[in-house]
Structure 1
Amino acid sequence: MEYLRPSSVKEIVGQERAIKAILSKLASPYPQHIILYGPPGVGKTTTARLAFEIAKMLKSTPFYEESPFVEVDGTTLRWDPREITNPLLGSVHDPIYQGSKRDFAESGIPEPKLGLVTKAHGGILFIDEIGEMDPILQNKLLKVLEDKRVEFSSSYYDPDDENVPEYIKKLFDEGAPADFVLIGATTKSPEEINPALRSRCAEVYFEPLSKKDIQNIVLNAAKKLKIKMDAEVPEIISQYTIEGRKAVNILADAYGYALYNRRGKRPYITKDDVLEVINLAKLVPYYKTYAKEEGEIGKVFGLAVSGFLGSILEIEAVAFEKEDGSVRFNDTAGTMAKDSVFNAASVIRRLTGLDISNYDIHVNIIGGGNVDGPSAGAAITVAILSAITGKKVRQDTAITGEISLLGEIKPVGGVNEKIHGAIQAGMKKVIIPKENIDEVYKDYEIEIIPVSTIDEVLDVILWEAV
């Protein structure tokens, strides 16, 4: 895996915007602390390493050739509240706690131990999974970021003791230097990160990898391994993962499998080799293709976001004429999604003149997921309207947007992630609120249709406009 790791930023696939953002923040004479957000396996750590190597070559930065890059995992950072040990910030080994190496224990002299923040002085301190760090340790790190040094204290320290070495006196009197740039990486959403830490850092977002990105990563890895393979191999691998790291792992497994089965021969990876490795690992396709050419009555594709990934919501509705009818929706759905059903009822009555109290209506989200927020409102409205009127809905188009009582389509969050999810599901079109269009940051391989009202949605998604 180390051999296949990208050795230049040109080899990092699908993260051009993130690379530029990191370089712009490190290229300044006053580089910023940074938090990197994104799903696992998309290149956050590798990008930070390579961007730092580029920054060291720029005259505008305070970095120099020997500037350190200190890397640590936030999930494994340990520390003791008594300050007996703290590998990140440094600690004081008092005589009673000096353990097996008791250089100063007999003379009663406390011994300061430098931490990683001091080793990173003049360079970068990279903390992977920074959101998993102990909250108290995070607050201590914030203090170091402000002071740019670590202070040591001990009740055993006597500044008048002539036996105390000069370097220990200097550490107690002046502290240890810790002027570094912090880069933290996390798979958590920004809301889950310490607000005080976020306020001190610039934020860079890494994008989910598309199928084409995964295929390019597989092709690049094959070049490094100097192997040939069936043309279908990159496509097959891209169906089973959205992580670059995982894609390389699958290829490496298939490479080893081919070497073992064809000993003495030049390795060549067939699609059967890859499928056998996938079968042995019990992998399942990451994305399912939902799009279909023909329309359906009462079925609509909405969009949702989980973490940094967009996904499809299969929303279906049925309606039966009945006096004093009722509306039923998933019990597991969120309250805001349930409110969207009642908003939809009012909008449909205004559009068609039909009173949905004359119908028994059942709305279902396949899989029974909890829809957090109102962003499925437009999709729910279309599903109910289709069920009542019998008009077919396009099955190659996905929708996101909140519905208001006046039939307006209101903006929602995570629009880029939702567009990405629609692409992975095979959709040809995606309908988004017009107020979100400025948030779309690149040319996606899908037709994006901005709308302001439910009438505009119906013109696009129904086979016949209402």
Structure 2
Amino acid sequence: MKWFRKKRDEGSQPESKGSGGQKVDDILKDPFADDLRMRIESASLPNHILEVARDECERLIKTDKSSPEFALGHNYIEFILSLPWNVTTKDDLDLTRAKDLLDARHYGLNPVKERILEFLAVKSLHSRQQAKILLADDEVIARENLSIIFEQEGFAVRSVANGLEAITAMENDPADILVTDLKMEGMDGLQLLQEVRRRWPDTGVIMLTGYATVKTAVTAMLKGADQYLGKPVNLTKLRDYVMELLNRNQRIQSLRGPVLCFTGPPGTGKTSIGRAIAEAMGRKFFRLSLAGLRDEAELRGHRRTYVGAMAGRILQGIQKSGVRNPVIMLDEMDKVIQDFQGDATAVLLEMLDPEQNASFVDNYLGLPFDLSGVLFIATANIVERLPAPLRDRMEEIEFSSYTLSEKQQISTRFLIPSQLSQHGLNPKDFNLLPEAVRSLVVDYTREAGLRGLEKQIASLCRKLARKTLAGGENSDIVTVEAGDIPDIMGPPPHFTTTAKSSPKVGLATGLVWTENGGEILFVEAARMQGNKQLILTGSLGEVLRESAQTALSFLRSNAEKFSLAPDFFESSDIHVHIPAGAVTKEGPSAGITITIAILSMLTGRAVRQDVAFSGEISLLGEILPVGGVREKIMAAGRAGIKTVVLPEKCDYAVRSIEPEVLENIEVRLVSRLEEVVDLALL
């Protein structure tokens, strides 16, 4: 109450009243006011927040409790007090424990786990660094006393006698904090301060002097000193200043940390591994789904002038977590709605920018809140949908499709025991053979992730539960073989597209990438009498249509090279069809496949059906690189393809693929279409 109570002459002044009609004496004796003041003073709020909270408290106390403004003001103060301004959790940076936990939660995803462990290793090394303090003072006793004090606090301390020696020491090993005297021989404290500010701007500087005056203090602060203390030194104040500057420097260094963005098909474990990261680091975790988000006020909050205003979902989540440095997962970021009504990605730009989020302002709070301690993890299925400035602020980590063996291992280790238990069955009483699990994966699912597989396993467990009840109590272990799966589950809902058995004229096999992983497709070409039309069917996108036009133009301009009649298109129509017309197809990857199919049809040379192609073609016959190489090779392996033809510039992507994926597949890298012709046509 020291900042509110005023002196009054007893009996000499008339009774004064607050704005709501309350007597000042009543206000001073109000238990509610005393309790609120005490809570504000004991909340350890930052200074700039404390001043605002005090002003709001005074305004609230003078407001009539029956007024609507009282409830609004009270809710605002309660929100300020509920935020964890200074509460953090200490990171657990044990890499062995983190690795074991990630392996226990997820099978596979080795590149993703490696990147996460690298991130934790950097934080661990940074946390082990000893804070460095440089003492510059011409008094030997002062240097020795301060050195002993700071060494006992765990700092690495160096001491020098003047400014010139301090510059040399900074050049050899820059310090985090410089504590310097003002008056020194050779180079005084102000000259040293100017040089340090010019060359090492992040170093905190505390100025000490036995000749403290207002003028010297103002001069030192104007030249860039962070704090100013007179001698004899108040050690408690000096220690507090040093810790404050160290915390500031650590925050600045932490701003350079990455914002991780997990990208990949649905069901590959992006959200669950984010939760595992929080568990491994010992941090609080909360997930924020951005799917369908349109209004930026959902993230930034509403101004208090609106009825029913509240803070944004970011500060609400931090409030619930109770700490200032949780792990926040921004899920489904690529599904944020961007239209004329609003663009919530503009708020994400500020939240995820390391240079801005240290002073994030929520509209409801109206005060800066430090988000620099938050570890943001974003997820997106198709990262290309995100605005370029937003992608620039994040480090993309790709979650690729699971291989067949990985799905089998995950099913055996995690999914099947879990689903059996959830359906009231004892996992020890059922034995699903590896062939049965393989049949579930291959014949009953078609996806890059695991959600569909988990649904099919759940369906199998329900049917086994019914058979168990129908058959009565039976202590024998039930063994499920591959041949039993169709009898239990019914006919497979999907059929696996396989390569044709014999070479065919005008039919080529291509490889494509979809949201659900890799697939193979067939390109058919036919020629008929007509008037120079290129007919394209199969629900093709604009880019794919342009690839077909490029392929035809290349063949027409190089007819002699491929032994074609120069006028082969004069009185003909060429029809290119890609089956599965109900499925929309788009992208440049089918350029080689279309060219080979047309060339095979024109020359009568059959195309090898154990060869599949993926690559964009230029008008000059150059083969340009494409993406999704791993998923495409996996699709080729499932379809029985023996040779995959890819652009030469995809060499790095091929070398980074696991040996398991490349097993029984020969990858041929080409740079021009002539090389493809020699490989493809008989």
TM-score (norm 2): 0.54
Is the counterpart of residue 366 in structure 1 residue 579 in structure 2?
Answer: yes
**Structure 1 pair 96–398 and aligned structure 2 pair: CA distance change class (3 A):** closer
Q: Deviations over 1:199-232 (max 9, x none)?
A: 1110011101222222222221335644312443
Amino acid at match of 2:563: T
Equivalence for 1:455? 674
Partner of 1:260: 466
- In structure 2, the CA distance between the partners of 1:373 and 1:346, relative to structure 1 (3 Å rule), is farther
Q: CA deviation at 1:420?
A: 2.8
Q: Which residue of 2 aligns with 1:142?
A: 349
Corresponding residue for residue 117 of structure 2: 23
- CA drift at 1:178: 6.4
Counterpart residue number, 2:103 = 9
Q: Deviations over 1:64-115 (max 9, x none)?
A: x3x2111222237686x6x5xx4x555566694379xxxxxxxxxx9x9941
Matching residue within 504, 510, 515 for 1:307? 515
Corresponding residue of 2:288: 72
The corresponding residue for 2:279 is: 53
Match of 1:344 among 555, 558, 582: 555
Which residue identity does 1:265 align to in structure 2? N
Does the Cα contact within 8 Å between 1:70 and 1:124 map onto a contact in 2?
yes
Show structure 2 runs of 5+ residues with no match: 1-99, 124-253, 419-426
Q: CA RMSD in A?
A: 3.4
Change (3 A) 1:437 1:148: same
Query: In structure 2, what is the Cα distance between the partners aligned to 1:175 and 1:11?
Result: 34
CA distance in 1, matches of 2:307, 2:573: 76
Corresponding letter in the other structure for 2:580: G
Q: Which runs of 5+ in 1 are unaligned?
A: 1-5, 57-64, 100-109, 155-170
Is the 1:303–1:421 Cα contact (8 Å) retained in structure 2? yes
1:130 offset after TM fit, Å? 1.8
Task: Give the TM-score of the pair, scaled to structure 1.
Answer: 0.77
What residue in structure 1 maps to residue 598 of structure 2? 384
Give the letter for the 2:411 counterpart: V
Distance apart, 1:401 and its partner CA: 2.0
**Residue identity opposite 1:338 in structure 2:** A
1:436 match: secondary structure: helix
- Superposed, 1:193-204 pairs within 5 Å as 193-204=386-397
Which one-letter code corresponds to 1:245 in the other structure? R
Distance in 1 of aligned mates of 2:363 and 2:539 = 54
Larger Rg: 2
- Which deviations, in whole Å up to 9, do the C-alpha atoms of 1:381-434 show, x marking residues without a partner? 221222222222111111112334443323233333322332232211110111
Counterpart of 2:268?
42
Asked if the contact 1:398/1:427 (under 8 Å) is kept, the reply is yes
Do the aligned residues in 1 keep the contact of 2:334 with 2:383 (CA within 8 Å)?
no
> CA shift at 1:137, angstroms?
3.1
Q: Hey, what does 1:130 align to over in structure 2?
A: 333
- The structure whose RCO (Cα within 8 Å, separation 6+) is larger is 1
Q: Is the 1:228–1:269 contact (alpha carbons within 8 Å) kept by the matching residues of 2? A: yes
Pairing 1:179–2:373 present: yes
Q: How does 1:41-440 map to 2 (within 5 A)?
A: 41-54=267-280, 56=281, 65=282, 67-75=283-291, 86=298, 88-89=299-300, 96-97=307-308, 114-117=315-318, 119=321, 121-135=324-338, 136-145=343-352, 146-152=356-362, 175=369, 179-187=373-381, 189-221=382-414, 222=416, 225-226=427-428, 227-239=430-442, 240-241=444-445, 242=447, 243-263=449-469, 264-266=473-475, 268=478, 270=480, 271=482, 274-275=485-486, 278-279=489-490, 284-285=493-494, 288-307=496-515, 309-319=517-527, 327-330=534-537, 332-333=539-540, 334=542, 335-339=545-549, 340-355=551-566, 356-357=568-569, 359-368=572-581, 371-440=585-654
Structure 1 residue aligned with 2:153: none
The CA distance in 2 between the partners of 1:70 and 1:426, in whole Å, is: 44
CA pair 26-125 structure 1, distance change in 2 beyond 3 A: farther
Amino acid at match of 1:142: L
